Amino acid sequence: MIDQIVLLLNDYTFQVVALGTGFLGLLSGVIGTFATLRKESLLGDALSHAALPGIGIAFLLIQRKELSLLLLGAMIAGLLATLIIQVMSRKTVVKLDSALSLVLSSFFGLGLVILTAIQNNPNARQAGLSNFIFGQASAMLRRDVQLIAVVGSVLLMLVVLFWKEFKVFTFDPMFARTLGFSSKITETLLSTMIVITIILGLESVGVILISALLIGPSVAARQWTDRLSLMMIIAGVIGFISGVMGTFISSLAARIPTGPTIVVVVSFFVFISLFFSPKRGILANHFAYKKRQRAFMKQIRSLEEGKG
Amino acid sequence: MSMITQITMVAVVVAVTCALPGVFLVLRGTTMVSDAITHTVLLGIVLAFFITQDLRSPWLMIGATLVGVGTVWAIEALQQTKLLSNDAAIGIIFPLFFSIAIILITRYAGNVHLDVDAVLMGEVAFAPFRRFVFMGMDLGPRALWTMLVILILNSLFIFLFYKELKLTTFDAAFAAAVGFSPVLVHYGLMTLVSLTAVGAYDSVGSILVVGFMVGPPLAAYLLTDRLYIMIALSIVLAIVNSVVGVQLAFALDTTIAGMIATVTGFTTLLIFVLSPKKGLIKASLNRRRELKKIDRQIKQAQKS
């Protein structure tokens, strides 16, 4: 058993994939923190579904499976979806959740229409386009990991660079505006970063599950601290560990898909945090409640004794 | 009956069945919960399939529906801890359930006649091949009958509990005060949403169902302020979208469910922009008029 694990850890493919999913987890943990705190966690879900037609149209235009161009198409579609969702939910009476659901399903439907049309066209080069729906981490190559690492570093640098702006904008957008920060620029930058993170994860984790990577680590991290910087670091670490562990577990046996396994690992961290966080966890809350109850009973009893 | 007529009939019935509970989802602002349900019933379908080994078993539908209702319960339990925001709770629960379902399907793919793509994407085009044969008589596509039953259930629920639904949707506190239970109505509605999602999955797949539920009611909501007109308009729009979608899909030789979802998105966006009551153009005109009014008032105030 141990031999097997050592063998696996030394395996080149495993190392590449684990590193790739680990980076991805780290990145989405950090970027997802903003989305979660701004209560826009489901935006990621809608945007990832909305990226599908972008991939299809990009393929139709270039007729090749050139990853960077497909991802560019996905990004344009994602940004267009963001725009539609924001106009719908802000300029009229339409609620955010309705806008999200509508954009999510109609973009995804359009994506399926285009992908099916491509598949009905005899063209050997289209193989593997449907992998974007579920992702295929095991197919990750060295250059994919490099792409994630490079783009990820740029995004992380942007977070550090615009730390003050993002922070004030996340917690108090009104105050940010009175201070003279342009909310439009900050918001566009932030949603572009979220879209890019999603796009990077499309190939390995897939359209449907990438949103879980954005939400999970930050929700778990939120339970352990009240400081944004610390929360972001914890979320990054949890994301990284989840990516590596998910890849590890799915490599242990045949036919365990990587993306869903990573999601299960992330959810495990979330539930551990929700239950066992020392300050605000469910158990801590429960014990604090019991303690208050006992103290209250004691007071009542001492009052009764005093009377008698 | 020709193939395309049968497919159109199935598509229309599915669209109307989804639009009915969708009206209340849109008004209550819980459409993303229905998105979660449509994903998680997959877990129910898989688990029930392991037990019954029969995709047509009614137990499979009941089991999957229960998992859908369980999803709602799990999301609300998480929300009540107040440790995470309401939408994050949705975003935590449904990918987890969904991932477990995918892992189970992939792991046992060899011995299970259950295809991930089929469950997720669905395909109305196959509906006419799955016949409903009763006492030796061929009564048409099975999906048509399944969805008709669910359509009748949905209509009955809305007809019988119209008052309760209306009251709990628009003023839950008042409803509770006068003795209606908002929780009961809520779970009744969510049960129907789950059942509809389960019934529709092999025709339209679990991701597009939410578009069928949200699109027509949202467009109708933009056109009217009256509940019964909104319901009627949703039904009309659902029918129009699915008929146009089927025709376009046949013309372009592509997925029917995806095409209907695309058409639904398109018509809803069109109505969103153009609606004379609450549309985008109207809203920006209103805003401009308000600004002008304020400008005038300021000028008057300066003069005097």
Cβ of A41 within 8 Å of Cβ of B91? The answer is: yes
HSE-CB at B78 with a 13 A cutoff on CA atoms is: 23
B13-35 mean pLDDT: 89
pLDDT reading at B213 higher than 70: yes
Answer for the pair A200, A153: CB distance below 8 angstroms, yes or no: no
DSSP E strands in chain A: the ranges are none
Q: What's the pLDDT score for residue A123?
A: 59
Its ipTM equals 0.86
Distance linking the first and last C-alpha atoms of chain A: 70
Judge whether A94 is closer than 8 Å to chain B, CB to CB.
yes
A residues 256..295 contacting B (CB < 8 A): 256-257, 259-261, 263-264, 267, 270, 274, 277, 280-282, 285
Residues of A whose CB is below 8 A from B278: 92-93
Contacts of A87 (CB under 8 A, 6+ apart): B280
Q: What's the pLDDT score for residue A238?
A: 92
Cβ of B95 within 8 Å of Cβ of A42? The answer is: no
Cβ of B261 within 8 Å of Cβ of A274? The answer is: no
Topology of the domain comprising A2-277: ABC transporter involved in vitamin B12 uptake, BtuC (1.10.3470)
Cβ of A255 within 8 Å of Cβ of B106? The answer is: yes
pLDDT in tens, B20-30: 999 998 988 88
Nearest to B97 by CA among B47, B31, B52: B47
Answer for the pair A61, B252: CB distance below 8 angstroms, yes or no: no
Domain chopping of chain A, boundaries: 2-277
**Average pLDDT of chain B, as a whole number:** 84
pLDDT reading at A240 higher than 80: yes
pLDDT in tens, A263-294: 899 999 999 988 888 888 888 888 888 999 99
Answer for the pair A81, A46: CB distance below 8 angstroms, yes or no: yes
The closest CB to that of A109, out of B39, B120, B261, belongs to: B261
> Could you give the angle at the alpha carbon of A124 between the alpha carbons of A122 and A125, nearest 5°?
120
Band the pLDDT of B238: cuts 50, 70, 90. very high
pLDDT in tens, A68-107: 788 888 889 988 998 898 888 888 888 888 888 899 889 9
B292-304 mean pLDDT: 89
Q: From CA A57, how far away is CA A48, in angstroms rounded?
A: 16
Please give the C-alpha separations between residue B28 and each of A59, A97, A285, B154, in angstroms, as whole numbers: 39, 10, 31, 17
- Of residues A177 and B113, more confidence is placed in A177
The closest CB to that of A106, out of B29, B261, B279, belongs to: B261
Q: What's the pLDDT score for residue B292?
A: 92
Q: From CA A47, how far away is CA A86, in angstroms rounded?
A: 12
Residue in the block written with tokens 């940004």:
A79
Judge whether B278 is closer than 8 Å to chain A, CB to CB.
yes
Highest-confidence segment of A209-213, A264-268, B60-64: A264-268
A residues 186..215 contacting B (CB < 8 A): 208-209, 211-212, 214-215
The count of domains in chain B is 1
Judge whether B26 is closer than 8 Å to chain A, CB to CB.
yes
The closest CB to that of B215, out of A95, A102, A285, belongs to: A102
Cβ of A105 within 8 Å of Cβ of B260? The answer is: no
- Of residues B114 and B271, more confidence is placed in B271
AA identity, residue B36: A
- Range of the structural domain that residue B160 is part of: 3-213+232-265
Q: What's the pLDDT score for residue A268?
A: 92
Write the CATH number for B25.
1.10.3470.10
Answer for the pair A102, B236: CB distance below 8 angstroms, yes or no: no
Nearest to A209 by CA among A102, A136, A117, A115: A136
Answer for the pair A72, A58: CB distance below 8 angstroms, yes or no: yes
Band the pLDDT of A228: cuts 50, 70, 90. confident
Q: From CA B226, how far away is CA B220, in angstroms rounded?
A: 10
**Average pLDDT of chain A, as a whole number:** 83
pLDDT in tens, A244-255: 888 888 888 777
pLDDT reading at B303 higher than 90: no
B residues 174..193 contacting A (CB < 8 A): none
pLDDT in tens, B90-142: 888 888 998 888 888 887 765 555 666 666 666 666 666 666 666 666 667 77
Cβ of B264 within 8 Å of Cβ of A98? The answer is: no
Whether B11 is in a domain gets the answer yes
Judge whether A110 is closer than 8 Å to chain B, CB to CB.
yes
Judge whether A57 is closer than 8 Å to chain B, CB to CB.
no
Whether B287 is in a domain gets the answer no
